[in-house]
Amino acid sequence: MFDPKAEAMSRDERAALQRHRLWGLVDRLMLAGGVQADRLREAGVKRGADVTLAELHKLPFTTKQDLWDSYPLGMLAVPQDQVVAVHGSTGTKGRPTLVAYTKADLDLWASMCARSLSCAGASAESVVHNAYGYGLFTGGLGIHQGAVALGATVVPMSGGMTERQVRMLADLKPDVLTCTPAYALRLAEAAAEAGVDLSSLKTGVFGAEPWSEELRAAIQDALPIKALDIYGLSEVIGPGVATECLEQNGLHVNEDHFIVEAIDPETGTPVADGEPGELVFTTPTKQALPLLRYRTGDVASLTHGDCNCGRTLVRMSKVRGRVDDMLVIRGVNVYPSEVERVLLGTGQVVPHYQLIVDRRKPDVRLVVACEAATEAATEAATEAATEAAEAASGASPEAAEGTLAEELTRALRADLGLTADVRVLPSGTVPRVEVGKAVRVVTWESGEPPLPGIG
C-alpha cells in the first residue's frame, strides 16, 4: 500500500477523521461564500460543528449545473492566485466543465494516483506506460504525477500514434499499462499485427469509461495482464478517486478524502449497501474547488466489507453507466454496458462495437453494430454451409452473418428483453478508439447511416 495507515485504518478511526475534515470543509465553504454556502445556510447550518456524518445525507447537493452556472471558475474557495493548474472535461453532451487545483490539491491528487498504481501492484521499480491523454483531460497528467510520487518510471505517451506506442512498449518493456479499456484493446490488436511481444506487462489500470466484466475478460485474453478498474471525475479530482486492487473485487474508494454516498437518483435518498445508486461525493480536503455532496450521475453500488488485500476502504462496484446514458428502446431501459456484457458474453464477437440509436422515426430503433470473432465467423460459415449443403443450395457469407446476427439478437432479447437490430459488419468497420474516450453510442437523426452497412 502507498499509505497503509490511511488505507487500512479502522472504520471508527476513519469516521472520526472524516467528521473532523467535514467540519473543516463546511467552515471553509461558509467562509468562501457562493452557492454552496447559501444552500448550507438555507439548510440551517451555521458552522462545521453543526453537521454530522450520519446526517450528511440531509445536506444540500451540488450539481454539474452549478459548475456550468459559474463557468469558468466561479466556484473557487481560494483566491485565484493560489490556483496552480486547471483541468476539465470536454463534455460529449453538455458544455465543458473546468476545475482548479492549488499546490496542495495537486499533491493530494498525486498521492491518490500513487495509491491507485500501488493498489495495482506497481512499485518504485515499475515502468508505467501512460497512454491516457495529456492535456485538459485529467487522465494523463493525473496518472503521470501519481507514477512520479510512487517513484516509478513514467513513459508519458498520451493517446494516439499507436504504432509509436507499440514501439515504446517493445523497447521500454513496461510492467504497467494505463489507458482507457478500449485503447488497451486497440494497443493489443496493433501489437499482435506488428508481432510485438508484450510479455513484460503485468497489470493495466483502465478507466475513464464504463467497461464490463466481459470486456475485462477480452482484455485479459488479448494481453498478459490483470486488468484493473480505476474511477474518477474531474470535478472530484480526476483519476484516483477509487481503484481496484489485485483481488478484482470492487474499487476501493479513497474515502478519507472523498466521502461517498449512493442515492436513489429519483428521490435523492440513500440506497442500501449493495444496491445500485447514483454516486455522490464530498471532498473534505480539497482546497481550490471543494464540493459538498456532488451528484456524479454515475450508477454503482457500495460495499462496506473487508477485502483480502487488507484495505478497509469502502468498495464501489464497476460503474453500470450514467443516469443520463440509459437508453430507452421500445419501453426497455438499458445501459450500453449491459449490451456490451451480453454481446461479449457470447464469445462470438470482437470487443469493438457501437450502438446506433436510430431516431429518424418516432419508433426509436437500436442498431447494434459489431464484428465477428474470427473463429466464430468461421464456425458460423461452416454451419451455414452445412445447412446449405443439406438444402442443396450454395452458402453465402451473408448467410453466415445472418446466423450470428440472429443468435446475438436472441441473446439480447433473452437477457435484457431488448429488441435490437444486430448487424455483423466486416472486420475493421467499427471505429477503433485512438484518442479519448470510446464512443459507444451514436444517434442517427437523419441522412446517411453513421456506419456503412447498417441502413
CB of 101 to ligand DLL, least distance (A): 14
Identify which of residues 352 and 423 has a Cβ nearer to ligand DLL in the complex.
Answer: 352
Instruction: Decide the pairing of beta strands 153-156 and 226-233.
Output: unpaired
Nearer to ligand DLL, 136 or 454 (CB): 136
Cell of 236: 472530484
Query: Judged by CB, which is closer to ligand DLL: 424, or 438?
Result: 438
- Answer for which of 18, 36, 62, 89 binds ligand DLL (CB under 6 A) is 89
Q: How far is the CB of 143 from ligand DLL (least distance, A)?
A: 7
For residue 204, state whether it binds ligand DLL (rule: CB under 6 A).
no
**132 near ligand DLL, rule: CB under 6 A:** yes
Q: How many Cα atoms sit within 13 Å of 277 on the Cβ side? A: 21
**Using rule CB under 6 A, residue 208 touches ligand DLL:** yes
User: Does 238 interact with ligand DLL (rule: CB under 6 A)?
Assistant: yes
List Cβ neighbours of 185 (8 Å cut-off, separation of 6 or more).
215, 218, 219, 222, 351, 352, 432
Which range of residues in 58-66, 208-216, 282-290, 351-359 is near ligand DLL by CB under 6 A?
A: 208-216
Set of cell numbers at residue 338: 449491459
Residues 6+ apart with CB under 8 A from 241: 112, 231, 232, 233, 253, 254, 258, 281
Taking residues 365 to 404 in sequence order and writing x for each that binds ligand DLL by CB under 6 A, - otherwise, the string is ----------------------------------------
Under the criterion CB under 6 A, does residue 117 sit at the interface with ligand DLL? Answer: no
Among 239, 250, 436, 450, binds ligand DLL (CB under 6 A): 239
Q: Which of 36, 130, 138, 158 binds ligand DLL (CB under 6 A)?
A: 138
Side-chain half-sphere of 289: how many Cα atoms within 13 Å?
A: 31
Q: Compute the C-alpha angle 132/154/187, nearest 5°.
A: 45
8 A C-beta contact, residue 147 and residue 140: no
Q: List beta partners, residue 277.
A: 300
Select from 105-113, 131-139, 268-276, 369-377 the region that touches ligand DLL (CB under 6 A): 131-139
In sequence order, which residues have a C-beta less than 8 Å from that of residue 209 and are 6 or more positions away? 180, 181, 182, 437, 438, 440
Residues 6+ apart with CB under 8 A from 318: 210, 211, 212, 213, 229, 251, 300, 337
Rule CB under 6 A: is residue 233 a binding residue for ligand DLL? yes
Q: Nearest residue by C-beta to ligand DLL?
A: 207
Question: Residue for cell digits 465543458?
Answer: 96
Binds ligand DLL by CB under 6 A, chosen from 105, 229, 256, 340: 229
Member of 232, 290, 351, 436 binding ligand DLL (CB under 6 A): 232
Distance of closest approach, residue 243 Cβ to ligand DLL, in angstroms: 9
Determine the Cα–Cα distance for residues 121 and 246; give it in Å rounded to an integer: 7
Q: How far is the CB of 346 from ligand DLL (least distance, A)?
A: 22
Tell me the C-alpha distance between 364 and 93, whole Å: 19
Strands 176-179 and 226-233: unpaired
Instruction: Pick the closer one to ligand DLL by CB: 302 or 372.
Output: 302
Residues 261-300, one symbol each (x = binds ligand DLL by CB under 6 A, - = not), give -----------------------------------x-x--
State the nearest-atom distance from the C-beta of 279 to ligand DLL, in Å. 8
Residue 154 interacts with ligand DLL (CB under 6 A): yes or no: no
Minimum distance from residue 230 beta carbon to ligand DLL (Å): 5
Distance, C-alpha 449 to centroid of its chain = 28
- Tell me phi and psi for residue 18, to 5 degrees: -60, -45
* Min dist. Cβ of residue 50 to ligand DLL (A): 30
